[in-house]
Structure 1
Amino acid sequence: MEIKHIPLESALPIRHAVLWPSKPPSFCQVDGDETALHYGAFVDDKLVSVASIYLTGNKARLRKFATLPDYQGQGIGTQMIERILSQLALTEIEYFWCDARSSALGFYRKFGLMQEGEEFYKSEVAYCKMSLHIPPKSLKPKG
């Protein structure tokens, strides 16, 4: 498997197919897509998972994280989050967060994300805000 940056246009079909197949494709685009960092996981040169990171100051937000059904449960999403977090640890980012589907809270807890606040709904789907504080670079061990 290979994880690399991809253009937004490559992420959109997987977002639509996995996250909101009953909505129009445009529903899967969000403000900030043009400047976000988009990641893709490839298995045998096939794009099977996507995630987008939106940067604001020292904060990074994960949005539109999706893995094709035939590839779920194989550790691909775990490797994606690990890669993203390791790359963010090399930057000035100090706070990583997402609105996680309530059905996926256990997945995000594996990486140390903690629930903030109460459950809420978007388009009839239950979510919780999950977050992780990343130590400032100056406090990280050196080489």
Structure 2
Amino acid sequence: MPPRLHPNLTIRQIDWQQTIPVRHLVLWPDRPPAFSQVENDAAGQHFGGFIDDNLVCVASVFIEGEQARLRKYATLPQFQGQGVGTQVLSAIFAYLKQAKFSYFWCDARESAIGFYQRFGMQVEGERFYKSEVAYVKMAIKVENLPS
């Protein structure tokens, strides 16, 4: 079944500071907002999904050599299941392919493994924990990303 697409979604690059409220609300609501910040946020590429000028999805990509790492990917709960996250991730894939990166990876919460597998990503390594939440590393060669 093809993914649902949200008809009013626009995606653009944003400043890292704009990501914090969505990251905080979705990923770590019981921690202070600063817990949702990444040490090198200023060096990342940050993508935002907007519906009617409201930021509803954020994703940050950090580059090291020919590798790209997805971090702090979050969609507001009321917009989950509507194709918003899929569309934002697809925009990131297009960016990675154009920029000629070779490898894409992320630390995925175990609850999201199925989501990433839909894009061809595979689990690499063993389960680990961040603040008592179970994660696995998931990765894919950029050439194998869906179009």
Normalising by structure 2, what TM-score?
A: 0.90
> What letter corresponds to residue 55 of structure 2 in structure 1?
L
> What letter corresponds to residue 116 of structure 2 in structure 1?
Y
Which consecutive aligned stretches of 4+ in structure 1 deviate over 2 angstroms post-superposition?
none
Alignment equivalent of 1:54, drawn from 34, 37, 62: 62
Provide the rounded CA distance (Å) in 2 between the counterparts of 1:26 and 1:56: 24
After superposition, give the CA deviation of every residue in 1:70-120 in whole Å (9 maximum; x if it has no partner): 101101001111110111001131000000000000000111111001111
Alpha-carbon distance, 1:135 to partner: 3.0
Q: How many residues align?
A: 136
Identity percentage over the alignment? 52
Map of 1:1-143 to 2, 5 A cutoff?
1-135=9-143
After superposition, give the CA deviation of every residue in 1:47-68 in whole Å (9 maximum; x if it has no partner): 0000000001000000000000
- Structure 1 alignment gaps of length 5 or more: 137-143
- Structure 2 alignment gaps of length 5 or more: 1-8
Provide the rounded CA distance (Å) in 2 between the counterparts of 1:71 and 1:9: 21
Provide the rounded CA distance (Å) in 2 between the counterparts of 1:55 and 1:67: 22
After superposition, give the CA deviation of every residue in 1:17-43 in whole Å (9 maximum; x if it has no partner): 110010111111112201100000001
Normalising by structure 1, what TM-score?
A: 0.92
SS state at 2:119 partner: coil
> What letter corresponds to residue 68 of structure 1 in structure 2?
L
RMSD of Structure 2 on Structure 1 (CA): 1.1
Provide the rounded CA distance (Å) in 1 between the counterparts of 2:52 and 2:34: 28
